[in-house]
Amino acid sequence: MKKITQKLLLSTFLCFCAAISFAQQREITGTVKDNNGTPVANASVIVKGTKNGTATNSDGNFTIPVTGSNQVIVVSSVGYKPSQITVGQNGHLVFTLEGGTGAMQEVVVTALGIKQQKRSLGYATTTVSADEITKTAPTNFAAALYGKVPGMRIASAPGGSTSGVAIQLRGISSITGRTQPLIVMDGIPIHDGTFDNTNYWGDQRLRSNGLTDLNPDDIESITVLKGASAAALYGSEATNGVILITTKSAKGKKGFNVDYNSTYFQDRVAYLPQFQNVRGTGFNPGYGIYGSDADGFAHYTLDGTDYRTMVAGSLSFGPVFDGKPILSWDGVVRPYSAQKNNWAALFQHSNNTVNNLAFSNVSENSSTRFSVTQNHYEGTSLGSKNDRVAINLNSTYKFGSKFRLNVIANDIWQKVHNRPYSDDRLINNFSGMMSAFDNGAWYQNKYKTSLGYKYVTGSNQSLTPNENLKFGNHRNDLLDYMWNVKTNNLDEYNNRLIASATAFYDITKGLELRGRISTDWTSGKNESKNSSSIPLVYGYSGSYGIGTNNYAILYGDLLLTYTKNINDDLTLKVMGGYTADKESSYSTSVSTNGGLTTENRFDLTSSANPQYYSGSNRSYITKDAYIGTINANYKNYLFVEGTVRSDRTSTMNPLQNSFIYPSVNGSFVFSDVLKLPAFVNMAKLRGSWGIVGNYPGAYAANVAYNLGNLGNQGSGSSTLISTVTTGQYGNDNIRPEKKHEIEFGLEAGFLNNRVNLDLAYYNNKVVDMILPLQISQSTGAGSILSNVGTLRNYGLEVALNGTAVQRRNFTWETGVNFSFNNNKIEKLTTGSNELIHADYDGNAAVLKSVVGQPVGDFYAHPIKTDSKGQPIVNDYGDGTLDYQLDGSKLVKYGNSQVKAVGGFYNSFSYKSFSLEVYTDFRIGGYVMPTGLNWLTGRGLTKESLNGMDKAHGGLSYYLDSKGYGVQTNGTTGPNGEKVYNDGMLLKGNLPDGTANTHIESSSVYYWYVYNWGGPQYSNSEYFKYIVKNSYWKMREVSLTYNLPLSIAKKIKANKLQVSIFGRNLFYLYRTIKNMDAEQLTAGLQWNSSLTDAGTNFATRTFGASIKASF
Amino acid sequence: MKKIFLIIAVISAAGFSSCTKKQFADAYPNPSKVSTTTVEKQYAGFLSSDLGYTMYQYWNYFVVMQNTFLPWSQTDALINTPGRYVPGAAAIGTKWSTYYASLAQYKEFVRLYNALSPDDQKAKRIYYISATIYFYDKTQKMVDLFGSIPWSGAGLLGTNKGDYVKSEPKYDDAATIYTTMLDDLKGFSDELNTIQLTPAVTTIINTQDFINHGDITKWEKYCNSLRVRMLTRVSGVASFQSRVSSEIAAIVANPTSYPLVLTNADNIQIKVLDPTTGVSNGSGTGAGASFYTGLIGWGNADRAGKVMIDSMNNNGDPRIRSMFEPGDSAKPAGTYIGLDPSLDNTTGTAIANSGVLARYNRSTLSQNIYIPGMIINAAEVNFLLSEYYLNAGNDASARSAYEAGINQSIQYYYWLRTISNDATNTASLIAPTTAEINAYIASNGVAWENANSTAEKLNRLAIQKWINYNVLEPDECWAEIRRLKLPALNFVADNSGLQSVPPNRWVIPSDEITYNSTNYAAVAANDKLSTKIFWDVK
């Protein structure tokens, strides 16, 4: 992987050094501005078709010599769309560049929505523009950021638009607290929430986090603040960085405009495990694991005829497909042949549409943009869909010359019907794994009876006993899965309003007051209807439930800014303010108890027990802060900023809930001062230091009792009241996590700004990490909230981009960014030198962090070796053998932290066509996709075919009287024993020290090695499950065609664009072939994305869109 | 400048008035929890903390029992699947964490009790004694499963004010735990004879003690019966033998001071008054009943095993019609058929699927949501006494206790059917007559006098105990089978993994091994499925 990266870098660089030019005749002057009217410095100005070029100065002005008339002048600057004007007789040309990222003169939105010149910033920021966000119609903005922001790692949970997205900036800054950056939209802190889909028994539907609600079509730009200094003004919750979202406004437009776009795309399940399709269930009959005949089949007599059937079991080392008739579990006699694509019927193709219509109007004293977006998304889980309507209004009004008001409102209405259902049982449970002679379509036929009740097995009571499933070998878990996705309905309705009003008041010259009040308010209800599964005569079944939820953030801030030019060279800006934030959430639910008294009548009045199940939850958080900043600007090339924030939060003990977060940063544009080689247009050094914090969640610090009411238990009228201590012990003395970060960076533009470089080095230390520290149940609680120690993260971020080729009709832009992050546990205060995060499958593997090592090392038991260093072969005494695990030893097999992430993009435009190709990669980070290994252990993957016969390298052997395999070349054993050809030899020594010579069936090998459980339960070799998860993926490809204006005009459009695109298309490289590299994403916590391959499968997307402006 | 000052004043005022200290303090505690409690509330909290395992509910049966005690005791149909003799991590982990969560409530209760004034402690002594009896009962079951466990030092996190390093408990030796409990229970049995309750305590404990409602005599019976059970369990251990015989002798010699649970009216059990409260078997009924869904497991686990059914058929056991119901396809119709545990998986599954097997009676047991949570009953105490008399050479008393036990058991299972509101089993139940019961007691395979050796008598006792425990007291059932090696059950060896026969104990769950590793190291060497519990000496 490293090599590939190096090559890419080298070739990219070579391209940059290709074509540069000169020429001359008469002088043309011009000005280059961005669409906010801000001058763009260092923009490249070229006379088309020549090598004649220059760059704009700091006021955006340029002068260029031109020969003759009708020459075309092209202006470009990185991050903006190139613009061109044909030179007439007029002397002065004005260029307005649209779009904008990365340019040095650009104005960047920073903390609290304060706009600053990018050149003045002492910390790293990255801005991504609207265009890049919606090019391939991702269902949420985060999925558009793959590989586009140095230091940012994205992982989308599979399942579709309703699945969550995990974002990590510069590694993890908290071990069990939030690792997701704070999301701020138009200055409003957004409720993002969390999700964790790893607990199948807790919730079988896949949940998501709040950012997926936000409508990508309304986003103008996204700015990512990575370091502590950048985020210090947010104090709390900014340990993981901040994502600032600016929604679209009418700014930069003139008069009345209409934009319309429409997109369709389809998702299909992709990157399934590589299944074998040569054999069904069973096992080598010589071992007698299943009651089978000598060929490995079971038999069933139906209506007097004896049929072959498959044995009932989850091991698929059975007879090879022969195409002859067999009685399947669904009662159909069909040829015994592979059921190719048998997984298809378990999922659906999801069809998605997005339509967006936006109006904008700009007049002298106001500007308004109004947009409506309609989305219809579907999940790949059968019947899952999501409909959404998002309305966005963004208006600015001027009242006189001193007062401005900006009002923004986003309203997102959404309905989710049957959120995707977890695939857990298909991957993580033996009784849900489908064999090669089985088919999702059969489950679609059999999950319910002809009367609509849930399937019945064996001789269990049924109104349709003839339909009972009797012929073994169906997967109950798959039948249940099908029943659940088809007959259990959950509808969720949500309305989310994110709105703000910001008033600006220019009090006197240099003194500005800004006040803002905003809300993020969600109101929702949900309704569940689970069908009656058994007839009323057998009991009540089914359920109905209804619930409501409400979440609100009320936020306000007041900032007073005073700017003063001390002299011609020095400008000072001082700001002071106050912010306050109240969050509240409520939920209530009520559902039937004991089933429905009338089948499939969904209402509480159908409850079998008159006392309904009910529950409620509420939570309040109050936060506030005083903030102050001071900025100094010396000659527009030296900038210093200092900030301080004093925070209070209600989630901490009221006696000690106030904390101070300072930061300083500086920027030095040394290209303005020093004489640098001519090819350097601009160069800037920056540095920053700051502290940010993180608090425990609401109520996590409480030491409390749960109060119970056990009703009247026969003592007259008294009610029995009880208390029990909570299983999670709080801590009234908890301190906030604090991240101290220092950062240095270099930004430079070369070759007329055709090449831009941004480098950043950071080093941070998170002290007093907060953890609900897992402790043994025998202490009296399962966990205790603690400050456990210190974690360090350090790393490097590199972004390099530019225009590789610029010709008359052809432009090639390319860029690469990557970041390396390392972390290390520096200190633990728990009295131990390690922190254990998870224990898997009865101590089969352990995830822990050890002092001096990075977070999250995977440990497992190695194979035991004897005094000669030979692996010990364990002999069960019945002819089966496996390697003896060393139950007393745990060895590290890999670290879960991703070493590097990045992206590589290329954008080509030829005449009216443009092709954009985005790839992203991740290097390192071990995972343990346990369920996929179990598929191998059950004989279901291609890998498990090794040794199955001579063609697959199997040895020939016969079984002696004790069941041991003896290698032979004969066609029968010495006493006429049957010879099998699926043998393997485990090299090593038996416990008595002699070399093992027993041959065993390869099916025994796979079964034992990839089985469940730690050394108490089996010798499963979990160290084989721990594998590196690196990839390089073709993330997005889009091909766009701008229709000629003449055609656009026919529908009165100024611009008409069509494009086709694909997402998640294929891998250029991946280390794990049996899954999508992101399939393990089951939650926002870093450690809920390491082991669970059973939430949903990833998808591949193709689509097309049309965009028009009027 | 004036303006600036004005503005600054406005901002400051706004800041100070926005959030007050009180607002922060008010938002700190969780409104749905409480920060203080009382001895009485915590007492009820402790007693109710493991109800899911004392009552008959889904999780215990589906996750814990279905794959462990029930097949290993052959109290249900055993289908020979690979890996059947290794207890699952979910079963072990659940059992362990429930016990320790409950233990933590007990220790918190003790902390609150110890903080009372000496006068209050004296007045509320009954809370301490009764909670401790119940706690010891649960502890005995844990020791019988795991052997040495963290105990005396366990559950003290609250007492130690959150010092988790100090709270990591050491393991107590299994025999020492038994000794401590037997000593304390002996003391309680004397103390309960003299204890007096104030009217205030009487009123409140009547509500808080949902097991015996503050009835001191019932707690005495429970205490002494528990002593007999525990003494019998260790009766094979040389170092315990003298106290076993002397203490049981003292108990049976003085029934006034040391009353026992000897008739069904004395049974210590948790009654279901209202299925919608927390003290219940869940509110689901019929095929949705919690016990039923757990017991039937993956589809056939509520079916009968051949050995038990044959014994009941052969001797005309009147319990068969209240405990079981015949399979729908049984041939001849209406006969009770059990699954032969020696059959292979395919054959066993096919027979179970064919519907010929008898199943546990849904109306009496699995769909009877009014079935009381059994703690200790008359039949089992009689059987334990019978064993004591048998070993003491008092054959006549042994016999009468044996027969009394059978009688109580038969009556008990019939009574269970009468309190059921479930009508799934449509056959109306015929009450067992005295003649029928006597005929059963006199039958060839049951009659005490037909057993011609002490060993055979012990075997008959074991069979009766086994039928009486069946699926309702699986912990005790499996412990007695391990202790006595009776009834002699045969199992097909499982060649597929680490354990080819049913294990002798459970292993410590991995969470405990991981998070209490230093203390675990002391018991690690014996933490094997094959290690016998100290009382398992036959």
Distance from CA of B113 to the nearest CA of A (A): 14
Using CA coordinates, name the residue in chain A closest to B298.
A476
Q: Measured between CB atoms, which of A511, A781, A786 is closest to B104? A: A781
Per-residue confidence (pLDDT) for residue A948, from 0 to 100: 95
Q: What is the DSSP letter of A120?
A: G
Per-residue confidence (pLDDT) for residue B17, from 0 to 100: 52
Q: What's the number of CA atoms in the CB half-sphere (13 Å) around residue A120?
A: 23
Distance from CA of B337 to the nearest CA of A (A): 14
Cβ separation of B44 and A653 shorter than 8 Å?
Answer: no
A532 interaction partners in chain B (CB closer than 8 Å):
none
Q: Is the pLDDT of residue A9 over 50?
A: no
Segment A858-886 mean pLDDT = 92
B492 interaction partners in chain A (CB closer than 8 Å):
none
Q: Is the pLDDT of residue A580 over 80?
A: yes
Segment A692-703 mean pLDDT = 90
Sorting pLDDT into bands at 50, 70 and 90, what band is A858? very high
Q: Is the pLDDT of residue A37 over 90?
A: no
Distance from CA of B261 to the nearest CA of A (A): 21
Q: Is the pTM of this model over 0.90?
A: no
B105 interaction partners in chain A (CB closer than 8 Å):
724-725
Per-residue confidence (pLDDT) for residue A133, from 0 to 100: 85
Q: How many CB atoms within 10 Å of residue B357? A: 29
Instruction: Give A957-981 pLDDT, tens digit per residue.
Output: 999 988 899 999 999 999 999 999 9
Mutate one of A306, A512, A613, A777 to test the B interface: name it (highest B CB count within 10 A): A777
The answer to ipTM > 0.95 is no
Cβ separation of B516 and A839 shorter than 8 Å?
Answer: no
User: What is residue A914's three-state secondary structure?
Assistant: strand
A842 interaction partners in chain B (CB closer than 8 Å):
89, 92, 509-510
Average pLDDT, chain A: 89
Q: What is the DSSP letter of A951?
A: G
Q: What's the number of CA atoms in the CB half-sphere (13 Å) around residue A779?
A: 31
Gap between the Cα atoms of A406 and A516, Å rounded? 9
* Tokens (6 digits) for B327: 């399979």
Q: Is the pLDDT of residue A362 over 80?
A: yes
Q: Measured between CB atoms, which of A513, A539, A558 is closest to B285? A: A539
Strands (E), B223-346: 268-270, 324-325
Distance from CA of B464 to the nearest CA of A (A): 30
Q: Is the pLDDT of residue A1051 over 90?
A: no
Sorting pLDDT into bands at 50, 70 and 90, what band is A101? very low
Q: Which residue type is seen at A824?
A: K
Q: Measured between CB atoms, which of A620, A710, A777 is closest to B210? A: A710
Gap between the Cα atoms of A243 and A222, Å rounded? 7
CB A679 within 8 A of CB A750: yes
Sorting pLDDT into bands at 50, 70 and 90, what band is B52? very high
Using CA coordinates, name the residue in chain A closest to B109.
A724
CB B490 within 8 A of CB B341: yes
- How many CB pairs (< 8 A) connect A and B? 353
- Decide if B158 touches A, using CB distance below 8 A: yes
Instruction: Give A87-97 pLDDT, tens digit per residue.
Output: 776 667 888 87
Distance from CA of A1021 to the nearest CA of B (A): 14
Higher pLDDT, A292 or A355: A355
Buried/exposed code over B305-320 (b: 16+ C-beta within 10 A; e: otherwise): bbbbbbbbeebbbbbb
Nearest 5°: phi and psi at B526? Answer: -100, 5
A334-A335-A336 Cα angle (round to 5): 115
Distance from CA of A597 to the nearest CA of B (A): 11
Q: Measured between CB atoms, which of A287, A780, A1014 is closest to B155? A: A780
Cβ separation of B44 and A648 shorter than 8 Å?
Answer: no
Gap between the Cα atoms of A641 and A646, Å rounded? 17
CB B504 within 8 A of CB B529: yes
Buried/exposed code over A603-617 (b: 16+ C-beta within 10 A; e: otherwise): eeebbbbeebbeeee
Q: Is the pLDDT of residue B206 over 70?
A: yes
Give one DSSP letter per residue of A855-904, joined into a string: S-EEEEPPBPB-TTSPBBEEE-SSS-EEEPB-TT--EEEEE-S--EEEEE
Instruction: Using alpha carbons, select from B334, B305, B339 the residue that is nearest to residue B467.
Output: B305
Segment B7-36 mean pLDDT = 75
B347 interaction partners in chain A (CB closer than 8 Å):
291
Per-residue confidence (pLDDT) for residue B497, from 0 to 100: 64
Q: Is the pLDDT of residue B159 over 70?
A: yes
CB B370 within 8 A of CB B290: no
Cβ-proximal residues to A803 (8 Å cutoff; 6+ apart), any chain:
A44, A76, A78, A754, A811, A812, A813
Instruction: Give A366-414 pLDDT, tens digit per residue.
Output: 999 999 999 999 999 999 999 999 999 999 999 888 899 999 999 999 9
Cβ separation of A457 and B353 shorter than 8 Å?
Answer: yes
User: What is residue B106's three-state secondary structure?
Assistant: helix
Touching A: B residues 74-113, CB under 8 Å: 82, 86, 89, 92, 96-97, 100-101, 103-105, 107-108
Q: Is the pLDDT of residue B507 over 90?
A: yes
Per-residue confidence (pLDDT) for residue A14, from 0 to 100: 36
Q: What is the enclosing helix (H) or strand (E) of A1104?
A: strand A1099-1109
B349 interaction partners in chain A (CB closer than 8 Å):
312, 472
Using CA coordinates, name the residue in chain A closest to B170.
A778
Distance from CA of B178 to the nearest CA of A (A): 19
Mutate one of B3, B8, B30 to test the A interface: name it (highest A CB count within 10 A): B30
Task: Identify the top-confidence range among A214-223, A1100-1109, B127-136.
Answer: B127-136
- Decide if B68 touches A, using CB distance below 8 A: no
Give one DSSP letter per residue of B458-508, joined into a string: HHHHHHHHHHHHTTTSHHHHHHHHHHH--S-------TTSS-SS--SSPPP
% of chain A with per-residue pLDDT over 70: 95
Longest dimension (CA), chain A: 108
B497 interaction partners in chain A (CB closer than 8 Å):
876, 1011, 1017-1018
A290 interaction partners in chain B (CB closer than 8 Å):
344-346
3-state secondary structure A823-855: EEEEEECCCCCEEEEEEECCCCEEEEEECCCCC
Per-residue confidence (pLDDT) for residue A1, from 0 to 100: 42
Sorting pLDDT into bands at 50, 70 and 90, what band is B16? very low
Distance from CA of B64 to the nearest CA of A (A): 15
Using CA coordinates, name the residue in chain B closest to A471.
B350
Cβ separation of B353 and A1014 shorter than 8 Å?
Answer: no
Cβ separation of B210 and A776 shorter than 8 Å?
Answer: no
Instruction: Give A160-182 pLDDT, tens digit per residue.
Output: 888 899 999 998 888 877 788 99
Per-residue confidence (pLDDT) for residue A12, from 0 to 100: 34
User: What is residue B405's three-state secondary structure?
Assistant: helix
Instruction: Using alpha carbons, select from B316, B349, B355 the residue that is nearest to residue B337.
Output: B355
Q: Measured between CB atoms, which of B289, B352, B515 is closest to A458? A: B352
Per-residue confidence (pLDDT) for residue A955, from 0 to 100: 96
Gap between the Cα atoms of B281 and B292, Å rounded? 10
Gap between the Cα atoms of B74 and B490, Å rounded? 9
Segment A15-29 mean pLDDT = 48
CB B323 within 8 A of CB B413: yes
Cα dist. B45→B40, B104, B105, B388 in Å? Answer: 9, 11, 7, 36
* Tokens (6 digits) for A537: 């005569």
Per-residue confidence (pLDDT) for residue A426, from 0 to 100: 92
β-pairing, A1031-1042 vs A1055-1070, is antiparallel
Q: Which residue type is seen at A912?
A: S
* Alpha helix stretches (DSSP H) within A693-815: none
Q: Is the pLDDT of residue A20 over 50?
A: no
Per-residue confidence (pLDDT) for residue B14, from 0 to 100: 55
Cα dist. A1011→A153, A882, B66 in Å? Answer: 33, 11, 21
Q: Is the pLDDT of residue A1036 over 90?
A: yes
Gap between the Cα atoms of B335 and A765, Å rounded? 74
